[in-house]
């Protein structure tokens, strides 16, 4: 209930519980336990793991014990890397060198419509409105629906698929929806063909 009242996502709730359940006990928690827990945090090799433990301990103090959390160690800074951004020229080259029409269409959805990986995977033909030139994105970040305008070149390519507008847009030869690995591989192959020396990743959600 505490998690829900604080507005934590399911992923955050699971992460905090996982960090706490094996190390802390409401009956046995003491200053010595805390010192041991701080030692665990300081011993973590990964900054992301350190931050996870740190916030779990902070949450335990403030929301379970209802007491002020006194920082014994400084919060380790996140080691997130800045995303790699492709230029318009590089994106155009990637689409141009891609011969497979389905792969070309996928790249256009990613870069012309700005869709994320899971949004592309879940696209249905019924989500595309060619007359109004819009895309209904049903699974977007934060579980919110949104509308994206169709780029003229993307709309032009979509017109070639008039006879196959059923179900998911991106399916394999076996009739199954593209998995995440396949989509990432399509992007990787396109960057290699153009000679782009960048490790390009796609936003998941």
Tokens, residue 114: 């700005």
Q: What is the mean pLDDT of residues 175-179?
A: 89
Question: Does residue 112 share a domain with residue 53?
Answer: no
Question: Does residue 158 share a domain with residue 116?
Answer: yes
Is residue 200 a part of any domain in this protein? no
Question: Does residue 102 share a domain with residue 59?
Answer: no
Question: Does residue 102 share a domain with residue 57?
Answer: no
pTM of the model: 0.57
Q: Who's near 188: CB < 8 A, 6+ residues apart?
A: 200
In this structure, the number of other CB atoms found within 10 A of the CB of residue 178 comes to 21
Domain count, the chain: 2
Question: Does residue 129 share a domain with residue 50?
Answer: no
Residue pLDDT, tens place only, 1-39: 444 444 445 555 556 555 555 545 444 555 555 554 555
Is residue 12 a part of any domain in this protein? yes
Is residue 34 a part of any domain in this protein? yes
- The pLDDT assigned to 138 comes to 78
Question: Does residue 92 share a domain with residue 21?
Answer: no
- In the listed set 64, 79, 97, which residue is the last one of a domain according to the structure? 64
Question: Does residue 92 share a domain with residue 10?
Answer: no
Question: Does residue 187 share a domain with residue 95?
Answer: yes
Residue 84's φ and ψ, nearest 5 degrees, are: -80, 125
Q: What is the mean pLDDT of residues 124-146?
A: 82
Q: What is the 3-state secondary structure (H, E, C) of 9-44?
A: CHHHHHHHHHHHHCCCCCCCCCHHHHHHHHHHHHHC
Residue pLDDT, tens place only, 80-96: 565 566 778 888 888 89
Q: What is the mean pLDDT of residues 143-160?
A: 87
CATH number (domain holding residue 104): 1.10.443.10
User: Which residue segment(s) compose the domain that 147 sits in?
Assistant: 88-194
Residue pLDDT, tens place only, 46-71: 566 666 666 766 776 677 666 766 55
pLDDT band at 191 (very low <50, low <70, confident <90, very high): confident
Question: Does residue 177 share a domain with residue 120?
Answer: yes
Is residue 144 a part of any domain in this protein? yes
Question: Does residue 114 share a domain with residue 148?
Answer: yes
Q: Is the pLDDT of residue 174 over 60?
A: yes
Question: Does residue 93 share a domain with residue 184?
Answer: yes
Is residue 14 a part of any domain in this protein? yes
Pairing assessment for the beta strands 146-149 and 134-137 based on DSSP bridges: antiparallel
Question: Does residue 59 share a domain with residue 154?
Answer: no
């Amino acid at each position: 209930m505490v998690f829900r009242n604080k507005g934590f996502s399911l992923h955050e709730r699971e992460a905090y519980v996982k960090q706490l359940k094996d190390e802390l006990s409401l009956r046995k928690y003491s200053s010595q336990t805390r010192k041991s827990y701080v030692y665990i945090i300081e011993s973590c090799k990964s900054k992301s793991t350190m931050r996870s433990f740190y916030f779990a301990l902070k949450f335990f103090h403030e929301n379970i014990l209802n007491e002020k959390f006194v920082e014994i160690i400084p919060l380790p800074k996140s080691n997130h890397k800045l995303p790699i951004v492709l230029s318009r020229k590089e994106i155009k080259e990637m689409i141009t060198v891609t011969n497979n029409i389905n792969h070309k269409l996928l790249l256009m959805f990613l870069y012309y419509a700005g869709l994320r990986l899971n949004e592309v995977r879940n696209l249905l033909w019924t989500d595309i409105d060619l007359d109004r030139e819009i895309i209904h994105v049903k699974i977007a970040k934060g579980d919110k629906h949104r509308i994206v305008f169709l780029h003229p070149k993307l709309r032009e390519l979509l017109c070639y698929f008039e006879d196959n507008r059923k179900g998911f847009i991106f399916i394999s030869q076996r009739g199954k929806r593209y998995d995440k690995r396949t989509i990432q591989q399509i992007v990787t192959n396109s960057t290699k063909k153009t000679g782009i020396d960048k490790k390009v990743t796609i936003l998941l959600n």
